[in-house]
Amino acid sequence: MTIASDPPLLAVLKGEHRDPPPVWLMRQAGRYLPEYRALRAEKGGFLELVYDSDAACEVTLQPLRRFGMDGAILFSDILIVPHAMGQNLTFGVGEGPHLSPALSDGDFSHLTPEPGHLAKIYETVTKVRAALDPKVTMLGFAGSPWTIATYMVAGQGSKDQSEARRLAYRDPQAFQALIDRIVTVTVDYLSGQINAGAQAVQLFDSWAGSLSPAQFERWVIAPTADIVSRLMQLHGDVPIIGFPKGAGAKLAAYAAETGVDAVGLDETIDPVWADMMLPVGMPVQGNLDPLALIAGGDALKTAVTRIRAAFDSRPHIFNLGHGIVLDTPVDHVEELLDLLHKPL
Ligand code: CP3
């Protein structure tokens, strides 16, 4: 139930329709912002930013100062969970993340957990929340177990998540044990973020699109439902956004079976189709193509209008269909915010 003091984004997550729609952008803090690049250079690296709660708080607030978003997303990374489970984590310049040892057999029993890594993140949440205008919603997040497992098993990002998919078929018991462990840590982690001040949380399932329907049921829907039901018991009033990127037609089952309060739509989903197919009144988030934002001008205007029109009677949070791209011009983000603040 919404309460009068709920900020707009939180009210929409609880089922209200707002016009104009509240907005935030996935990866709204990051390398397209000169002030981010400056602080990152000063601190020496990405993880140095993430584990320094003053720096991470500052980075979280940078896009809010510039653009006036309705949501602040905690500055961290989904791979902090495997780091806390005991894998070594590095981000090489221009290389993407590396986790070692890679768990190609799914066995995590030899890893020594480092819960202190997660405690550092809670500090950031508390600092951001204390600094936020009450009209802005503080969002926490974690990766979904399937996406986290793909990195843990391969030790890095991979094109088609083949290692994790092979392991899931070859040794479903070992893979299930790994997923169960990630579920447990993720529930603790999200609950810790909520206790520290997060008002809603998002589960990023970036690689949900690589699974066959039966595997999707087992490795995306079931563990997500498990996280949602455990979090609901702990924090019944905190909305959960599920973002199963690439789920396509499997989105209907995801929305119906996981228990998430809202679904994030990637840019390949037709908003008109999503509106027809999702339960009446279920809030949605998305789904501007990040490349339309790079294009700007008429292409941006047309894409924004189409999305807003499709969701004109459904609770809708405006967002991208995936993270903001590195070479996005900062003034196009301003252009987007101006467009959204005008009536449809
Ligand atoms: O949205 C936000 O602004 C919050 C912060 C955030 C980051 N990563 C910061 C980040 C969030 C929510 C994430 C999620 C994340 N991380 C996902 C899920 C969403 C998605 O994009 O699919 C995934 C798969 C990761 C793993 C990850 N982190 C990769 C593959 C990379 C390398 C690619 C890249 O863009 O460099 C990262 C690094 C990363 N995470 C950066 C940022 C700002 C860039 C680090 C840098 O400064 O060099």
Residues 6+ apart with CB under 8 A from 6: 14
- Quick one: pLDDT at residue 301? 97
Asked whether 84 and 185 are in contact (CB, 8 A), the reply is yes
Residue 342 pLDDT level (bands cut at 50, 70, 90): confident
Mean pLDDT calculated for residue range 83-95: 92
Written out in words, the top-level CATH class of the domain with range 20-259 is alpha beta
Nearest to 220 by CA among 185, 175, 190, 189: 175
Domain spans, the chain: 20-259
Say what the pTM is.
0.97
* 170 part of the active site: no
pLDDT in tens, 247-306: 999 999 999 999 999 999 999 999 999 999 999 999 999 999 999 999 999 999 999 999
Provide the token pair at 309: 């029109």
Is the pLDDT assigned to residue 70 strictly greater than 80?
yes
Does 70 participate in catalysis according to the annotation?
A: no
Return the pLDDT at 3: 82
Q: What pLDDT shows up at residue 344?
A: 77
Q: What whole-number distance in Å separates Cα of residue 282 and Cα of residue 249?
A: 17
pLDDT of 63 = 98
Residue ranges around ligand 1 (CB below 6 Å)? 26-31, 40, 46, 73, 75-79, 91, 96-97, 141, 157, 204, 206, 323
- Percent of the chain with pLDDT strictly greater than 70: 100
- In terms of Cβ atoms closer than 10 Å to its own Cβ (0-12, 13-18, 19+), residue 246 is middle
- Distance from the alpha carbon of residue 159 to the mean position of ligand 1, in angstroms: 16
Distance CA 231, CA 240 (A): 9
pLDDT of residue 75: 98
Is pLDDT above 80 for 2? no
Cα within 13 Å of Cα(3), Cβ side: 3
